[in-house]
Structure 1
Amino acid sequence: MGEFQELIRNFDKIRDYMRDFYIYGFKSRSDFTHKSSRTYDNEKRRIESYMGGYMKWDYTKSGKNLFISMDCSKITVNPLYAAWKSKTFTSNDIMLHFFILDALKGGKKYAIDELTDILCERSGRIFDIQTVRGKCKEYLSLGLLTAEKSGKSLYYSLSPDTFEHLLTIAPGLSEAIKFFQGSVPFGEIGSFIMDSQNMKNNLFSFKHYYAAHTLEDAILLDLLSAIRNRQAIEFLNYNEAGTRISTLDGIPLKIFISASTGRRYLCVYKTRGRRFFNYRLDHIKAVKTIGLCQEAEKHQENLAKNLPSVWGVGFNGASRKEIICMKLSIQEKSEAYIVERITREGHGGELLRLEPDVFLYTKEMFDTNDIAPWIKTFTGRILQLEGTNQVVINRFYRDIQRMQELYGD
């Protein structure tokens, strides 16, 4: 029987467990059916080692449900970043890391054969010269080392561009790192830097902090690379319930981020349907590129032209464009702020004054479903609601009728 290891080889596995069982799922051990119970127990132990202070549980009819609970406005560093810091490594990896950096400190330069001899002497182990060369090339690509050719040999040395050096020449950089780690995608990079420099975030907290989305950053990086390189992609996408997975393809164009939930979406152009579609990043399992797209720039331009007609992330209306008209009662003298709010939040829709204290808001968009929650915030002021998507209009009036039946006048 294999010994339990806290470190992981495959981040996708821990991502799925943390997301499906502890963040979104609120599932119990009995809900885990696609592998052995021991596998679930091992993953549970790993997650508890990362998130011990944030693990909670509750008892339901199905058993003990585990979940992660935190007040995101009070945390200084996302605890889910711990999952990114748990990748397994070999004994050679860790030994070469420290021995190489130690051998080259003080401005020393060595060719690969000299460096290999030094490592073998200091460690008391035999390292193959190709293994050392491979590790040096890896560190060269990461910027940890520099290489200078002299004669036929390549001499390696430590890069002078260390973060300690950057901190001395760029006042305020440490504060920028503390802000970066909690405010933008790939904040785990800032967390890594803070750990290496023993920095603590004692400056910033965030009212709207969506900690769970760090689990999607590996997928996000693949997608942004494909967008930048104008490549078409193929990706695996789960349905809402997580019970079915589909293989989809398209041309990635943009990443949308919801201002209300922080949820991130991939916008792709599907050549077969000749339409734009959006997919939630937390439903995407894997991404691979399938070739260069010569028309990516043209699709980017078309998307930019269509964005004014997108309220949320929906391009999926029954027709190509839909129109909604909302007649409102607004007391002009005492409620001018309502007019200002509609102008500010109305996504460029037209607001007309029909008569004193009566206004008409009109907006053309792809999917009227997206605007429905915003429209409901004007309940009590709406005199009439009409639109080309009768399903949405009927649902609104049905909801108002049900509310009246529940609460009366």
Structure 2
Amino acid sequence: MPYSDLTKNFENVRDYLKEFYIYGFRKRNEIVLKQDQKEKKRNEENERTSAARTYDDRKRKIKSWLGKTYMQDRDYLEGRVPYISVDSREIVHNPLYTAFKTSTFSQNDILYYFFLLDFMTKDEWLSVREIMTNLRSYMAKIYDAVLEVKKEREKRTGKIEAIDHDDKKFEVNEKNVKKILDEYVRVGILRKESGKLHEKRGNVFTLAENSVELNSWKDAIQFFSEMNQLGVIGSYLLDKMNQIEEMNSSIEEIESKIEKDDSRLSDQKKYQVESFTFYFKHHYLLYALDSEIILNLLLGIRKKRYLEVVVWSRKKKKNVFHVVPLKIHVSTQNGRVYLVCYNAEKSDIRLLRVDFMQKVEQKEICDEDLYEKIQREYAVRKPYLWGVEIGDPKETSHVEMTIQIGDDEAYILQRLEREKRNGHVEQISANQYKYVADVFDAMELLPWIRTFTGRIAKLESSNPLLKQKYEEDLEKLYAMYGGGDEDDVS
């Protein structure tokens, strides 16, 4: 079979994109062994293709999508190591979205998603029969054009070519046409009316009015495409406006005009160009690879459906959960995305990491009374949720942190109010403020508490491990940087 850089199933390359971007230090034989073991667990009975051949094929696909700009190789004595490297200061658009724009397509896709909309207008109402006639006409023209090309090629080469199955003329399916038309009406691309209003039989369709001026939304779309978990939608809209090509070409022109200088001031000039509204110091790119998973989760939340979620654990163990999705939580600290859901088997609420999910399948609609009960349970637990640990509201840990804030340091108080996820802040003296919270796991606050080191006057918790761990960390810091008799630091 000839090589193609298109892919039928995005899940096939999702693992490899993560492998090259997150790790980027594993050699070919290590990745092949890992994927081979994973494939065995996915399907023990069916015949599997060679993991080595699969690796070579998917690596070549990814490299053709991203190019040498983002995907490179390091050569070691033990072998070559592929990796993806992206400097978020030098890009204005997530390059991983390219993977979604390389899907294969069939004749039906061209027929229903391109030809059909090509002849629909705002000025003419067409019946289903007229639409089918137009589609057949389009296909006949394409079929005749293919035959002409093959005849010309046969004259030049003297070889008679067989007509491939995909080149054969086929009948337009009325059921499929009606289904696609109803889908377009539902999403607002087409309008539908009774044919009686236009002296025609059945329903008639026309192109819907589109009053949205995309260019006026450019900044909002650009921000959405880089920050939202479904930003790939914004990426497609930017493609439509040709914004990505314009931005990238402008960057090259600007960079060529800026003198090369290692100073920080030069870097600031380079990246704070007025032509571009947004640049990101910390840009979480990987959520792009979970877009299809996120979409299915959001559909489940909207329709209040049960979902069957396949999750791979860190130990590469496959787990299948039957859940009711409630909320999606996104960490601004590390970019990870979690699904808050009700586990039907265990009858409890838990959080599942989205990037560990392999597959999400829509199931039956949840009973309305049960769904309301689950929502009430979640509402009771939410005030005590700091990270991913969730449990019984009666078994929480109490945390109190007193910090010192100077008269001219109002920004510290603002930060405290802004970053706290629950609890409250109270002033206890002119320059001291106390943060008070009850949480399921006090240890989850520790990384955040550390950021106030030097200002913490007092730290108390019903979980003694929190204060103990914090004090141990301070002792280690002092041992490393505090200096001693034999150290140069004093």
Which band: TM-score by shorter chain? 0.7 to 0.9
Q: Give runs of aligned pairs for residues 249-398 of structure 1, distance below 5 A.
A: 249-271=322-344, 273-294=346-367, 295-315=370-390, 320-328=395-403, 330=404, 332-333=406-407, 335=409, 337-351=411-425, 360-398=434-472
Q: Aligned ranges for residues 201-220 of structure 1 at < 5 Å?
A: 203-207=276-280, 208-220=282-294
Alignment deviations for residues 208-230 of structure 1 (CA, whole Å, 9 cap, x no partner) = 43222111111111111111111
The TM-score, its normalising length taken from structure 2, stands at 0.71
Question: Residue 119 of structure 1 contacts residue 127 of structure 1 at CA under 8 Å; is this kept in 2?
Answer: no
The CA deviation at 1:179 is 3.8
Indicate whether 1:49 and 2:64 are aligned. yes
Q: Deviations over 1:320-371 (max 9, x none)?
A: 211123344x264455554444344334535456667665443211111221
Alpha-carbon distance, 1:291 to partner: 2.5
1:123 counterpart residue number: 142
Instruction: Report the number of matched residues.
Output: 402
- Are the equivalent residues in 1 in contact too, given 2:219–2:277 (CA < 8 A)? no
Between Structure 1 and Structure 2, the one with more helix by share is 2
Q: In structure 2, do the counterparts of structure 1 residues 255 and 80 end up closer, same or farther at CA, with 3 Å as the change threshold?
A: same
Alignment of 1:24-35 (within 5 A): 24=23, 26-31=25-30, 32-33=32-33, 34=36, 35=50
Cα 1:134–1:197 shift into 2, 3 Å: farther
Calculate the aligned-residue CA RMSD, in Å. 3.3
SS of structure 2 residue aligned to 1:206: coil
Find out whether 1:114 has 2:163 as its counterpart: no
Partner in structure 1 of residue 153 of structure 2: none
Letter in 2 for 1:184: N
Q: Which amino acid aligns with 2:13?
A: I
**2:156 is the counterpart of 1:81:** no
Q: Normalising by structure 1, report the TM-score.
A: 0.84
Relative to structure 1, the CA distance from residue 343 to residue 124 in structure 2 (aligned partners, 3 Å threshold; closer, same or farther) is closer
Q: 2:478 aligns with which of 396, 404, 407?
A: 404
Select 1:188's aligned residue among 223, 229, 232: 232
Once the two structures are TM-superposed, the CA of residue 38 in structure 1 deviates from its matched residue by 1.6
* Cα pair 1:22 1:66 within 8 Å, conserved: no
2:143, 2:169 within 8 Å by CA — same for their partners in 1? Answer: no
Compare CA radii of gyration and give the structure with the larger one: 2
* 2:21 alignment partner in structure 1: 22
8 Å contact from structure 2 (residues 20, 84) kept in 1: no
Alpha-carbon distance, 1:146 to partner:
5.3
- Correspondence 1:221 to 2:240: no
Q: Secondary structure at the match of 1:172?
A: helix
Percent of matched pairs sharing the same residue? 29
Q: CA deviation at 1:59?
A: 4.5
Q: Is the 8 A contact 2:384 2:393 kept in 1?
A: no
Aligned partners of 1:340, 1:95: CA distance in 2, in Å?
A: 56
Pick the structure with more strand per residue: 1
